[in-house]
């Protein structure tokens, strides 16, 4: 398999396809598989390099979803997208069984917000399938992660965690060039923690694997701009342009078109004589 960086040259864009009743930004909008598939196809047409399908919300305070419910939500959407577009589909799950079934249905990447910690079988599923994996940092569990998160040095601690998870993933048989890392914006972090991670994203990038970033519409952007969820796409673009300059590789976003346009302009400026 091509190394991730060659398969998806930076800056790449991952479009969010949530199939949940309670996702923080678009919960319920695409719970019907047909609507979710149509939304994914729209994001593909707008220039997404990957479509990230998730059936369990990880928003602060959310409860876990039973296995059967998650499978019922994501499998028809993955099958539909695989049938109707060549854009690779990623499965956003912490459950090995969901990842396995999703891969059998055609998913080409696994996005595990617990970095292989939640389910002891996840590493084996990913290694056996030979698919790429995203390892994300989260402090605590979604249910409680925003209850007063604390770090002595957030950038150093997140970096150390990601280094440890990358080492574990490779030990468990996942190819090093199929791993990407993610500092986990908003996952057990205050607005200041998020800003420190963004300011020093070059240090996360220096770990080695390509860096995925999911800042889209998150609440620290609401705190900075006063905007409700629907009004945070401009702030999201601003974050992502800053992140790309500091070494981000792939951007996980709801608004694919706006991100693509901004990246095209930024790239044109960098390429000017």
**C-beta of residue 133 within 8 angstroms of C-beta of residue 109:** yes
Distance in angstroms (rounded) separating the CA atoms of residues 273 and 24:
43
Distance in angstroms (rounded) separating the CA atoms of residues 141 and 92:
16
Tell me which of 252, 253, 256, 263 binds ligand HH2, using CB under 6 A. 252
Whichever of 234 and 264 has its CB closer to ligand HH2, that residue is: 234
Q: Which two tokens stand for residue 209?
A: 């694997």
Q: Which residues are catalytic?
A: 218, 252
**By CB under 6 A, is residue 114 in contact with ligand HH2?**
no
- Residue range at the interface with ligand HH2 (CB under 6 A); choices 19-27, 63-71, 124-132, 192-200: 19-27
**By CB under 6 A, is residue 49 in contact with ligand HH2?**
no
Residues facing 250 on adjacent strands: 12, 212
Of 116, 40, 126, nearest to 78 (Cα)? Answer: 40
Tell me which of 48, 102, 123, 136 binds ligand HH2, using CB under 6 A. 136
x/- mask, ligand HH2, residues 197-226, rule CB under 6 A, reads ---------------x-x------------
**By CB under 6 A, is residue 73 in contact with ligand HH2?**
no
Minimum distance of ligand HH2 from residue 95's CB (angstroms): 14
Minimum distance of ligand HH2 from residue 91's CB (angstroms): 11
For residue 49, CA distances in Å to 140, 257, 260 come to 30, 12, 10
β-sheet with 179-182: strand ranges across? 179-182, 133-136, 109-112, 89-92, 50-54, 12-18, 250-253, 212-213
Binding residues vs ligand HH2 (CB under 6 A) = 16, 18, 20, 23-25, 54, 57-59, 92, 111, 113, 134, 136, 182, 184-185, 212, 214, 252
């Amino acid at each position: 398999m091509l190394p991730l960086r060659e398969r998806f040259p930076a800056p790449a864009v991952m479009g969010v396809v949530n199939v949940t009743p309670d996702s923080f930004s678009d919960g319920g909008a695409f719970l019907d598989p047909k609507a979710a598939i149509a939304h994914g196809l729209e994001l593909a047409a707008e220039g997404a390099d990957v479509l990230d399908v998730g059936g369990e919300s990880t928003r602060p305070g959310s409860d876990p979803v039973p296995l059967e419910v998650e499978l019922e939500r994501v499998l028809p959407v993955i099958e539909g997208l695989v049938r109707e577009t060549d854009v690779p589909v990623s499965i956003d799950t912490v459950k090995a069984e969901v990842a396995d079934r999703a891969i059998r249905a055609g998913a080409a990447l696994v996005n595990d917000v617990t970095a292989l910690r939640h389910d002891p079988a996840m590493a084996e599923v990913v290694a056996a399938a030979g698919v790429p994996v995203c390892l994300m940092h989260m402090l605590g569990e979604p249910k409680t992660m925003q209850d007063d998160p604390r770090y002595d040095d957030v950038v150093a601690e997140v970096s150390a965690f990601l280094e440890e998870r990358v080492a574990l993933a490779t030990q468990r048989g996942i190819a090093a060039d199929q791993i990407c890392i993610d500092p986990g914006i908003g996952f057990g972090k205050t607005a200041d923690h998020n800003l420190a991670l963004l300011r020093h994203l070059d240090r996360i990038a220096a770990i080695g694997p390509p860096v995925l970033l999911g800042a889209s519409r998150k609440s620290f952007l609401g705190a900075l701009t006063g905007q409700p969820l629907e009004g945070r796409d401009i702030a999201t673009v601003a974050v992502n342009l800053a992140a790309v300059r500091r070494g981000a590789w792939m951007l996980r976003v709801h608004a694919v078109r706006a991100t693509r346009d901004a990246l095209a302009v930024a790239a044109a400026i960098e390429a000017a004589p």
